[in-house]
Chain A
Amino acid sequence: MDFSLSDEQKAWQRKAREFSENEIRPLSVARDQIEGPFDPWHWDLIEKGSKLGLRTMAVPKAYGGPETDFVTQSLVMMELAKGDSAMSKAFSQNWKWSHLIAHACTEDQKERFLKPFLADHRYLMGRGITEPNAGSDNRLPPKEDPKAGFKLRAERDGDDWILNGEKCFIANGSVGSLFFVDARTDPSVNISQGGTLFLVPKETPGFRVGKLFNKSGWRFYQNAELFFENARVPHANVVGEVAGGSTKTGDGDVTGGDLFGDLELASNAVGVCDDACGLAMSYACSQNKAGKPLIDHQIVQVRLGEMHMLTEALRSFTLRVAWEHDQGHRSASGVLMVNFSSDVILRVTKLNMEIHGAEGCFMNARVEKLVRDAEIWPHLAADTVLRMKAVSKLKRPDTSNA
Chain B
Amino acid sequence: MVDLHLSPEQIEFREMVRNFAANEIRPIALKPERLEAFAKPFLEDLLSEASALGLRTLMLSEDAGGVGGDMLSACIVLEELATGDVDISVAMGRTMLLAHELFDVVQMSDGQRKKFLDAFHNDQTFHLAYTGGDPNAALGWHYHDGAVSDDAVLPSANADGDDYVIDGTIEHVANAPIAKLFAVEVNTGSGASVLLVPRDTDGLSVSEPSDVVRGEFVRWHHGTAAKVEFKSCRVPKENLLGVDGKNSVHSSDYFVRDRLQRAAINLGLGQVAFETTVDYAHIRHQGAKNIVEHENIGAKIADMASKLELARTMIWKAAWAIENPDAVGQGSLSNLPLDIVASTYTAQSVLEISEIATECFGAMGVMRDMPLHQFVHDSLVFAHGDGHDIATVLRIAESAVGYSRAFAA
| Residues of A in contact with B (beta carbons under 8 Å apart) | 29, 33, 35, 130, 133, 135-137, 140, 142, 144-145, 148, 168-169, 213-218, 223, 289-290, 297, 299-300, 303, 346, 350, 353-366, 368, 371-372, 375-376, 378-379, 383-384, 388
Q: Complex Cα distance A144/B219, Å?
A: 49
Whole-angstrom distance between the Cβ of A32 and the nearest chain B Cβ: 10
Query: Could you say which of B138, B210, B218 contacts A363, with CB atoms under 8 Å apart?
Result: B218
Q: Note all chain B residues with C-beta closer than 8 A to A357.
A: 384-385, 389-390
Taking CB atoms, residues of chain B closer than 8 Å to A215 are 366-368
The answer, among B216, B376, B390, for a CB contact under 8 Å with A303, is: B390
24 A-B contact pairs sorted by A residue (CB < 8 Å): A35-B38, A133-B285, A142-B286, A214-B368, A215-B368, A216-B368, A290-B145, A299-B391, A303-B390, A346-B355, A358-B220, A361-B172, A362-B219, A363-B217, A364-B216, A371-B380, A375-B355, A375-B366, A376-B366, A379-B359, A383-B359, A383-B362, A384-B300, A384-B359
> What residues of chain A lie closer than 8 Å to B148, measured between beta carbons?
290
Q: Is the CB of B363 within 8 A of A137?
A: no
Indicate which residue in A133, A169, A384 contacts B296 across the interface (CB closer than 8 Å). A384
A300 to B390, CA, bound (A): 8
Q: Cβ of B365: which chain A residues have Cβ within 8 Å of it?
A: 379
A268 to B33 alpha-carbon distance, docked (Å): 31
| B102 touches A (CB below 8 Å) | no
Q: Closest chain B residue to A378 by CB distance? A: B359
Task: State A375–B148 Cα separation when bound (angstroms).
Answer: 38
Which B residues between 310 and 325 are near A, CB-CB below 8 angstroms?
none
Q: A144-B288, A388-B296 are in contact. Are A378 and B358 (CB under 8 A)?
A: yes
Q: Is B329 an interface residue (CB 8 A)?
A: no
Task: For B37, list chain A residues within 8 Å (CB).
Answer: 216, 372
Question: From A149, which residue of chain B is reached at the shortest CB distance?
Answer: B286
Whether A290 and B142, one on each chain, are in contact in the complex, defined by CB atoms closer than 8 angstroms, is yes
Q: Across the A-B interface, give the 6 residue pairs with the lowest CB-CB distance, nearest first.
A: A358-B385, A216-B373, A145-B288, A362-B217, A142-B288, A290-B141
Q: Tell me the dominant secondary structure on chain A's binding face.
A: mixed
A-B contact count (CB 8 A): 138
| B7-23 contacts to A (CB < 8 Å) | none
CB distance from B94 to the nearest CB of A (A): 14
> Chain B 265-285, CB within 8 Å of chain A: the 1/0 string?
000000000000000000001
Residue of B whose beta carbon sits closest to that of A215: B366
| Chain A residue, CB-CB nearest to B32 | A214
Contact B366 A217 (CB under 8 A): yes
Contact (A363, B213) CB under 8 Å given A35-B38, A371-B380: no
Q: Which of B220, B366, B367, B390 contacts A299 (CB 8 A)?
A: B390
By CB atoms of chain A within 10 A, which of B138, B141, B219 has the most? B141
Q: Is the CB of A361 within 8 A of B221?
A: yes
If A289-B391, A363-B218, A384-B296 touch, whether A297 touches B385 (CB-CB below 8 Å) is no
- B38 x A361 contact (CB < 8 A): no
B390 touches A214 (CB 8 A): no
Residues of A with C-beta under 8 A to B117: none
Contact present for B220 and A354 (CB under 8 Å): no
In the bound complex, residues from chain B placing their C-beta under 8 Å from that of A383 are 359, 362
- Cβ contacts under 8 Å, B300 to chain A: 384
For B286, give the chain A residue with the smallest CB separation.
Answer: A136
B285 CB contacts on chain A under 8 angstroms: 133
A290 to B139 alpha-carbon distance, docked (Å): 8
B91 in contact (CB, < 8 A): no
Q: CB-CB < 8 A to A33: which residues of B? A: 38, 213
- Tell me the residues in window 64-119 of chain B with beta carbons closer than 8 Å to chain A beta carbons: none
B381 to chain A, nearest CB (A): 8
Answer yes or no: B62 CB below 8 A from chain A CBs.
no
- CB-contact partner of B355 in A136, A137, A140, A378, under 8 A: A378
Q: Are A35 and B36 also in contact (CB < 8 A) when A299-B390, A355-B390, A379-B366 are? A: yes
CA separation between A366 and B218, bound complex, in Å?
9
Beta-carbon contact of B390 and A354 below 8 Å: yes
- Quick check: A299 and B286 within 8 Å, CB to CB? no
Given contacts A137-B287, A375-B373, 9 further A-B contacts (CB under 8 A): A218-B366, A299-B390, A299-B394, A355-B390, A358-B386, A361-B172, A363-B384, A379-B362, A384-B296
Q: How far is the CB of A368 from chain B (nearest CB, A)?
A: 5
Pairwise interchain contact A148-B286, C-beta atoms closer than 8 A = yes
Identify which of residues 223-278 in chain B touch chain A, using a CB-to-CB cut-off of 8 Å: 225
Closest Cβ–Cβ distance, residue B182 to chain A (whole Å): 17
Q: Mark B19-36, 1 if CB is under 8 A from A, else 0.
A: 000000000000000001
Q: How far is the CB of A150 from chain B (nearest CB, A)?
A: 12
Identify the closest chain A residue to B145 (Cβ): A290
Q: Flag whether B328 is at the interface (Cβ < 8 A).
A: no
Query: Does B398 reach chain A (CB closer than 8 Å)?
Result: no
Encoded as 1 (CB less than 8 Å from any A CB) or 0, chain B from 364 to 377 comes to 01111100010011
Q: Mark B117-155, 1 if CB is under 8 A from A, else 0.
A: 000000000000000000000100110010010000000
Known: A361-B172, A362-B218, A362-B220. A169 touches B358 (CB 8 A): no
B171 at the interface (CB under 8 A from A): yes
Highest count of chain B CB atoms <10 Å: which of A33, A359, A379: A379
Tell me if B39 is interfacial: C-beta within 8 Å of chain A.
yes
Q: Are A290 and B296 in contact (CB under 8 A)?
A: no
Q: Kindly state whether residue B5 has any CB partner on chain A within 8 Å.
A: no
Complex Cα–Cα for A137 and B394 (A): 46
* A135 vs B363: C-alpha distance when bound (angstroms): 9
